[in-house]
Chain A
Amino acid sequence: EVVLTQSPGTLSLSPGERATLSCRASQSVFNNLLAWYQQKPGQAPRLLIHDASIRTTGIPDRFSGSGSGTDFTLTISRLEPEDFAVYYCQQYETSPMFTFGQGTKLEIK
């Protein structure tokens, strides 16, 4: 089973700043099938990025994903007030299918 470790646990930044979130896998992610989600309190997660770097329809271009193998990054180029939330990475493998990281909380400094 691939284990995903996200860092940092909490990131404190100000609107307008750049955010860099990391997701490291315990072994290579199959075909770089790595996704990123945003979750706000009381809401379901929202898919931002799939296949490591492809933005889902409707996601602003300030969100970008990169990486391959075991190291992946979600970058938010200029933080907007609505971007402060918890972010999760998720990978797909043939068994046990989907696993998620523990999350990074992005909070307002």
Chain B
Amino acid sequence: QVQLQQSGPGLVKPSQTLSLTCVISGDSVSSNTFAWNWIRQSPSRGLEWLGRTYYRSKWYNEYAVSVRSRIIISPDTSRNQFSLHLNSVTPEDKAVYYCGRGQHNAIDVWGQGTTVTVSS
């Protein structure tokens, strides 16, 4: 049974970098079948897909246009996890952040969610 366990701070200062990690159990970040995603949810923006990383003989990263200039999603094969780094955060980035496994062009396994507040 695949499980995703998220970790990271719930409070980030404006202009700083939001960093979250998603540890995978029961599957591999290097899988040739799945993709590893970050999604966020807020009352103002609803559910918003941020980006993904996946391995198909080499690593690929794809990002939503809305955050493309300030996001990095990176795999860590030694720890079987992947991370989200979102820089230059503003109060608009306040949301619940989820990691998720992508299959069938949908997200079939979700992390537990991390509530992130942006405040000084």
The residues of A with any CB-CB pair to B shorter than 8 Å are 33, 35, 37, 44-47, 50-51, 54, 56, 88, 90, 92, 95-103
B110 in contact with A100 (CB, 8 Å): no
Instruction: Kindly state the separation between the CA atoms of A100 and B47 in the bound complex, as whole angstroms.
Output: 6
CB distance from B35 to the nearest CB of A (A): 10
By size class, the interface of chain B is 20 to 34
* Chain B 82-115 near chain A by CB (<8 Å), digits 1 or 0: 0000000000000000101001111110111100
CB distance from B62 to the nearest CB of A (A): 6
A46 in contact with B49 (CB, 8 Å): no
Instruction: Kindly state the separation between the CA atoms of A99 and B107 in the bound complex, as whole angstroms.
Output: 12
The residues of B with any CB-CB pair to A shorter than 8 Å are 37, 39, 46-49, 51-52, 62, 64-66, 98, 100, 103-108, 110-113
CB distance from A6 to the nearest CB of B (A): 10
Question: A35 and B47 in contact (CB under 8 A), knowing A44-B111, A96-B64?
Answer: no
**What are the residues of chain B within 8 A of A45 when measuring CB–CB?**
47, 98, 107, 110
Question: A35 and B105 in contact (CB under 8 A), knowing A44-B110, A96-B66?
Answer: yes
Choice from B65, B98, B104 contacting A44 with Cβ under 8 Å:
B98
Instruction: Kindly state the separation between the CA atoms of A88 and B37 in the bound complex, as whole angstroms.
Output: 18
**What are the residues of chain A within 8 A of B66 when measuring CB–CB?**
96
A102 in contact with B49 (CB, 8 Å): no
In the complex, 25 of the A-B residue pairs with CB atoms within 8 angstroms, ordered by the A residue number, are A35-B104, A44-B98, A44-B100, A44-B110, A44-B112, A45-B47, A45-B98, A45-B110, A46-B110, A50-B103, A50-B104, A50-B108, A51-B105, A56-B108, A88-B47, A90-B47, A96-B49, A96-B64, A96-B65, A97-B51, A97-B62, A97-B64, A98-B49, A101-B46, A102-B46
